[in-house]
Structure 1
C-alpha cells in the first residue's frame, strides 16, 4: 500500500509542477500581450499639433505642388492614408485622393522624419477652376476620417490655379515617389 501511495504522491506532485509551470506561462504570456499594446500606444497619429506642414512649388512635373509633413513631436506618429486638402477658403469638399498611390503600409514618422504628398493642381481635362491663395490641410486618422484641426498654408506665388482635376497622393516616404504619378 505504501508503494502505491508513494507512486500517487509523485504523480500528483508532477501534475502540480506542470500546472504551476503552465500557470506561470499563461501569466507571462499575459504580461507579454499587455506589453505589446503599451508599446503600440507609444505611436500616435500625426496631426497638426505634432507635425509641421509645408507646401512648395516644384519645377517638375508641371501643375504640381509638394506637401511635406515633418514630425515635430517627441513620439513616432502614423501618417495615415492621405491628407484632406481644401484648396481655397471657400472650398466645399476636399481634393480627391489618387487611389493608385496607396502605399503598402502606413508610414511611421520618427521625430524629425518627413512624409510627402504630391498635389496635381489642374489638368486640361478638368473643368472650371480658379486661382486659390490658401491650402487647408487636415490629417486622417486610423479610420480614414479627418482629425479635428486644420492647418492653413499660404500657397506659393500669391496663389495657384486649381480645377476639377486636382488630386492628392497618399503619404509617401520620399518626395520622388510623391511626384512620380
Structure 2
C-alpha cells in the first residue's frame, strides 16, 4: 500500500510541475550570430494579458536600446544630428536624433517608392529616440521622411530584407 501511495503522489507531483518548463530565447545580429541568450521564467500574474504584453514590449524595447552602440548608427554625414540603424532592416529600425537650436522632430512618415504613405508617426517633439517596426512590411525599399518643427524635412532610403 505504501508503494502505491508513493507512486500516486509522485505522478501527481510530476504532472503539476511538468508545465513549468523554462523557455530560452535568443537574439541574433544581422550576420546571424547569437548575441544574447535569455532564460524566460513564466509566472502566474494577476495582470491581464494586455497589461503584461505592454510591459513586456516596453522592457524589450529598453533592452534593444541598451544593446545598440552609438557606433552602430549611420548618419547622413558626420555633422548631422540624425542617425539610424540598421540599414538594411529586417524587423525594427532604430532612429536617434539630437535636439539642436530647439529644432525638434515633429513626425516621421514612411512612404513606398511609388509615393504611397504607409504610416505616419506623429507627436515626436519630446522624443530623441524612436523605433519603427518593419516586420509587417514586405521586402523592398522605403522612404522615411523626417519632418521638423521649423518646416524642414529630410528623407532616408531604407531597404527591408
Larger Rg over CA atoms: 1
**TM class, shorter-chain normalised?**
0.3 to 0.5
Higher strand share: 2
Higher relative contact order structure (alpha carbons within 8 Å, sequence separation ≥ 6): 1
